[in-house]
Amino acid sequence: MLFVAFTFILSSCKKIDDCTRHFKNDPIPQLSRICFGSCSSQNKAQPILNTIVDKKPDLFIYAGDNMYADTDDMKAMEAEYYKLCKKDEFQRLISNVKTIATWDDHDYGANDSGKHYSKKAESKLKFLNFWGEFNNLERAIHEGIYTSYYWGDSIHRVQVILLDCRTFRDDLVTDANGNYTQNQDPNVTMLGSEQWKWLKTELTVPSKIRIIVSSTQFARSHDGYEAWDNFPHEQEKMIQTIKDAHANGVVFISGDVHLGELSKINPAGLYPIYDLTSSGLTQLEGVDIPNVNRVGDVELDYNFGMIDIDWQDPNNVLLNMKIGLLQGTEKLKYSIPLNDLQF
């Protein structure tokens, strides 16, 4: 029986390995165009991935809900990963563009779930295997899937921090109408103590630009759905952690909510914090959800996020934030001088 189970695990892993072994892994001397996206159903065609490849980004980031597993059956999860993997457009993406990922609730395993999802350790193994990350020992060893990457020389260094907003997250609380509401308990956590400790250190590593990838939105105003705003003490802790580390050049990117938008907050004693949200690659609601922190227009069509870094003038580096559409059109187009993201 054990032998049969072992053979099955090996054969299913092999299917995924065959599928994902074409991940592009060439060195990236300098990051100038980053694309990202979230919320992609493995059961739908994904032509937007072709649009992304045609934009020729240096890096693509999956910001979560990269497929919809919603199961505690790991064989079923493997099968859902395999559906995504064998798509021609997915293969074209990963073989042409360096691709990295974090997860959100649906690929973690259960809708809106946190630390009590019972299969989080097993799901992590599926995730690492699928995204070609088994050689990332640091990521494999600790609990959860948070990690970081660096590209570029010291003048052009970009740090990409992938947060894990699921493995350690305490339960959400709801109001009488069933909407999520702010939990004012200072002891509840989004990231958990080990991830916070790691993040504090990460933010002291020298880098010109720091892109923090949070599957759930960091800077949008309260709306009764999932967001950092449901954990106000954790949101404040993030602000304080950036301040304590004296970390310049931080911007957030996020997904999850089936629309595209740019949010901005102005914390006391810190430069403005932006959060560019892109969702979804295949999933839409077509409904605008008011956000008083929004800058520019909301995008309700299929979309992906873009950050074009203009390094041309070393004294005035620009982060050009955009939302890309299926047809290739670029919207939003909000330019942030890196000089504005400094202490």
Site for Fe ion, rule CB under 5 A = 65, 104-105, 256
Q: Which of 236, 138, 118 lies closest to 188, judged by CA?
A: 236
Q: Based on CB atoms, which residue is closest to Fe ion, 66 or 195? A: 66
Q: CA–CA separation, 213 vs 271, rounded Å?
A: 18
Q: CA–CA separation, 1 vs 147, rounded Å?
A: 36
Least Å distance between CB 108 and Fe ion?
9
Least Å distance between CB 105 and Fe ion?
4
Which phi and psi (to 5°) does residue 143 adopt? -70, 140
Least Å distance between CB 239 and Fe ion?
23
Q: Based on CB atoms, which residue is closest to Fe ion, 105 or 164? A: 105
Q: CA–CA separation, 263 vs 156, rounded Å?
A: 25
Least Å distance between CB 199 and Fe ion?
21
Q: Based on CB atoms, which residue is closest to Fe ion, 151 or 302? A: 302
Number of Cβ within a 10 Å radius of residue 166: 27
Least Å distance between CB 257 and Fe ion?
8
Residue 138 parent element (H or E): helix 137-141
Q: Based on CB atoms, which residue is closest to Fe ion, 104 or 202? A: 104
- Name the packing angle between helices 120-130 and 2-20 (round to 10°): 40
Q: Based on CB atoms, which residue is closest to Fe ion, 12 or 277? A: 277
Q: Which SS3 state, helix, strand or coil, does residue 211 take?
A: strand
The secondary structure of 291-324 as a DSSP string is -TTEEEEEE-SSEEEEEEEE-SSTTS-EEEEEEE
Least Å distance between CB 287 and Fe ion?
16
Residues 6+ apart with CB under 8 A from 115: 166, 167, 168, 169, 170, 192
Q: Based on CB atoms, which residue is closest to Fe ion, 58 or 104? A: 104
The secondary structure of 261-298, three-state, reads EEEEECCCCCCCEEEEECCCCCCCCCCCCCCCCEEEEE
Least Å distance between CB 12 and Fe ion?
25
**Cα separations in angstroms, 268 against 209, 246, 271:** 21, 14, 8
